[in-house]
A and B are shown apart, each in its own frame.
Chain A
Amino acid sequence: MAGELSGILDHVDRIAALDLDDVPPTSHVVDLKNVLRPDEPRPSWPRETMLDAAPDPAEGAFRAPSPAAETEV
């Protein structure tokens, strides 16, 4: 995959030649005005429903293997 990634980066590098010094970056294309919604409590997703999709739900939570081996490093 290293060769493929280098080929892609070589193509991407074409933009290095452009003069972009005074150009602002765009992260979002649509002009949006900030708005506030009423701060009203709404019911959240039921815990059981959310845990249904988990590979290893336990005691009302997501269970994952211990990170212990990592902290020993």
Chain B
Amino acid sequence: MSELLGLTVAEAAARISAGEIPGAEYTEAWREAAAGDELNAYLWRADDRTSGTPPNGEDSGTFGGGDGPLAGVPVAVKDIFCAEGIPTTAGSRILEGYRPPYTATAVRRLHDAGAGVLGKTNMDEFAMGSSNENSAYGPVLNPWDRGRVPGGSSGGSAAAVAAGLAPCAIGTDTGGSIRQPASLCGIVGLKPTYGAISRYGMIAFASSLDQCGPLTRDVTDAALLLSALQGHDPCDSTSVGIEGGIAAPSREDLSGLRFAVPSELARDGIEPGVRAVFEATLETIERLGGELSEASLPHTEHGISAYYVLAPAEASTNLARYDGVRYGMRAEAGELVEMYEGTRAEGFGDEVKRRIMLGTYALSSGYYDAYYGRAQRVRTKIAADFAAAFSEFDFVVTPTSPSVAFNLGEKTDDPLAMYLNDFFTVPMSLAGLPAISIPAGLAEPEGGGPRLPVGFQIAAPAFGEQTLLEAAFALEREIGFDARPGKDGDG
């Protein structure tokens, strides 16, 4: 069994398709592993009959089967993706008990490729958060150190893959929600170009920013999942897919490739340990033949300001649908407005309320131009900064997160400090660009303690996923990160 769990998804899928491993045996091994979840990574599992027998007698863990590229592969799915008959909460009380009547295109595509749903993973409520502490169902623990956060909002997906509770996972990234938890848990997380993967059936947070992507053990698995997930979907008119598709990466060096280090993103507020790993990774890039230069992206430092206007503004309109009438919970009340207010007061957590208030304020008459209008213009400037950088360089690189995993409760009283975790990931989201975080090493947290994973972020031009994966693959190979929770950490 343990030999099966040691395989990457690409290795397992190849052996299953060659008939060397029965797909059912592989799936069963992972179901048993997922059942051992002590991190609160899962909100629902395919073997959890008490909380999730789907209607119609259909087995929710049903696999697409056949000879698809992911035949027999179980995938941990962030609880933001609707799956027919399977409880889907988006980490919120307001959707407790909700079973969608339809399946998200991303989940459908995995199914079409032969994969199945292993479980639904815990997350910050409606994907709002960077630590998973905003889940209505309790925080996820970081497998490297259970006193620390796994990052967020796709914290359950990242922790499940890092802890060996799932072979791979999907999540969503609005301002860093795939890349940051991947960084804090020591795995690979890819946010594709906006439009690469359909958002149909993905519960909306900020529609102009939300994007689905894979969280995996390595870059090859990320490419394999992306290849199945990407593509145009008639149900999402903003989806366009990636022309030419995605192939397994094979590049071994970085010669001739030009990497830009943004001067604005590489100064204050980075933990010394993170900085050291980042600089060592830059040396690795040069050793592989890559060319490094500093570049100016002057508006990226305003990314957080623009993001925390735009994302809450979009959220405040998207979340208006939770009114206790058509789905989800309802507070008992004798009168309609009282029912709306009671439902939202009871159903939404503090961070969601905070963002709805920020968003409605930013969109209100008299403040619209000062906040929303200006933030949209900053977004234009940030996209232009990247466009200028990509006229000279192939990639922009930064640390994924300014720190390693922080302690549970450390930032819950200071929302702004929490938001600043997204400093390096938000600019790419605003510009709609693809970016990947790969584990680059371990570093001691500020204040001491066992060493924890550090992620290295690489961003590429829109729809440049194949080139991005090739570079990440070469770099991953040279870095040779093989630390695992419990082996090198204290988890």
Q: Which residues of A contact B (CB under 8 A)?
A: 1, 4-5, 7-9, 11-16, 18, 20, 23-30, 32, 37, 45, 49-50, 52-56, 62, 64-70
Of B72-80, B128-136, B334-342, the stretch lying at the interface with chain A is B334-342
Question: In the bound complex, how far is the Cα of B299 from the Cα of A23, in angstroms?
Answer: 13
Q: Which of A8, A29, A55, A70 contacts B416 (CB 8 A)?
A: A8
Q: How many residues of B contact A (CB 8 A)?
A: 60
- How far apart are B211's CB and chain A's nearest CB, in angstroms? 11
Q: Name 4 extra pairs, CB < 8 A, besides A4-B414, A29-B383, A30-B462.
A: A23-B381, A30-B240, A55-B328, A70-B335
Of the listed residues A7, A28, A64, the one surrounded by the most CB atoms of chain B closer than 10 A to its CB is: A64
Query: Given A1-B354, A24-B380, A65-B334, do A50 and B305 touch, yes or no (CB 8 Å)?
Result: no
6 closest cross-chain pairs (CB), A and B: A29-B432, A25-B376, A55-B330, A67-B336, A53-B327, A69-B335
Query: Given A29-B432, A45-B101, do A68 and B335 touch, yes or no (CB 8 Å)?
Result: yes
- How far apart are A67's CB and chain B's nearest CB, in angstroms? 4
* Total A-B residue contacts, Cβ distance less than 8 Å: 141
- How far apart are A72's CB and chain B's nearest CB, in angstroms? 10
A-B contact pairs, 11 of them (CB 8 A): A7-B416, A8-B415, A8-B416, A20-B377, A23-B377, A26-B380, A29-B430, A29-B431, A64-B336, A65-B334, A70-B337
- How far apart are B302's CB and chain A's nearest CB, in angstroms? 5
Contacts of B330 in A (CB 8 A): 55-56
Instruction: Name the residue of chain B whose CB is nearest to the CB of A63.
Output: B325
Query: Quick check: is B205 within 8 A (CB to CB) of the other chain?
Result: no
Whether B354 contacts A54 by the Cβ 8 Å rule is no
Instruction: Name the residue of chain B whose CB is nearest to the CB of A12.
Output: B305
Whether B208 contacts A29 by the Cβ 8 Å rule is yes
Query: Quick check: is B320 within 8 A (CB to CB) of the other chain?
Result: no
Q: Which of B305, B308, B432 contacts A30 (CB 8 A)?
A: B432
Instruction: Name the residue of chain A whose CB is nearest to the CB of B378.
Output: A15
Instruction: Name the residue of chain A whose CB is nearest to the CB of B384.
Output: A23
- Please provide the chain B residues from 349 to 387 with a CB less than 8 Å away from any CB of chain A in the complex: 350, 353-354, 357-358, 361, 370-371, 373-381, 383
Q: Is the interface of A mostly helix, strand, loop or mixed?
A: loop
Contacts of A25 in B (CB 8 A): 373, 376-377, 379-380
Q: Which of A9, A32, A66 contacts B335 (CB 8 A)?
A: A66
Contacts of A29 in B (CB 8 A): 194, 208, 379, 383, 430-432, 462
Whether B339 contacts A15 by the Cβ 8 Å rule is no
Question: In the bound complex, how far is the Cα of B306 from the Cα of A49, in angstroms?
Answer: 40
Contacts of B370 in A (CB 8 A): 16
Query: Quick check: is B189 within 8 A (CB to CB) of the other chain?
Result: no
Q: Which of A20, A37, A68 contacts B374 (CB 8 A)?
A: A20
Whether A5 contacts B377 by the Cβ 8 Å rule is no
Query: Quick check: is B262 within 8 A (CB to CB) of the other chain?
Result: no
Instruction: Name the residue of chain A whose CB is nearest to the CB of B330.
Output: A55
Question: In the bound complex, how far is the Cα of B161 from the Cα of A5, in angstroms?
Answer: 35
Query: Quick check: is B148 within 8 A (CB to CB) of the other chain?
Result: no
Question: In the bound complex, how far is the Cα of B238 from the Cα of A11, in angstroms?
Answer: 31
Instruction: Name the residue of chain B whose CB is nearest to the CB of A20.
Output: B377
Contacts of B237 in A (CB 8 A): 32
Query: Quick check: is B191 within 8 A (CB to CB) of the other chain?
Result: no
Instruction: Name the residue of chain A whose CB is nearest to the CB of B370.
Output: A16
Question: In the bound complex, how far is the Cα of B415 from the Cα of A12, in angstroms?
Answer: 13
Contacts of B302 in A (CB 8 A): 14-15, 18
Contacts of A28 in B (CB 8 A): 208, 238
Q: Which of B309, B358, B379 contacts A5 (CB 8 A)?
A: B358
- How far apart are A71's CB and chain B's nearest CB, in angstroms? 10
Instruction: Name the residue of chain A whose CB is nearest to the CB of B463.
Output: A30
Question: In the bound complex, how far is the Cα of B484 from the Cα of A21, in angstroms?
Answer: 51
- How far apart are B291's CB and chain A's nearest CB, in angstroms? 28
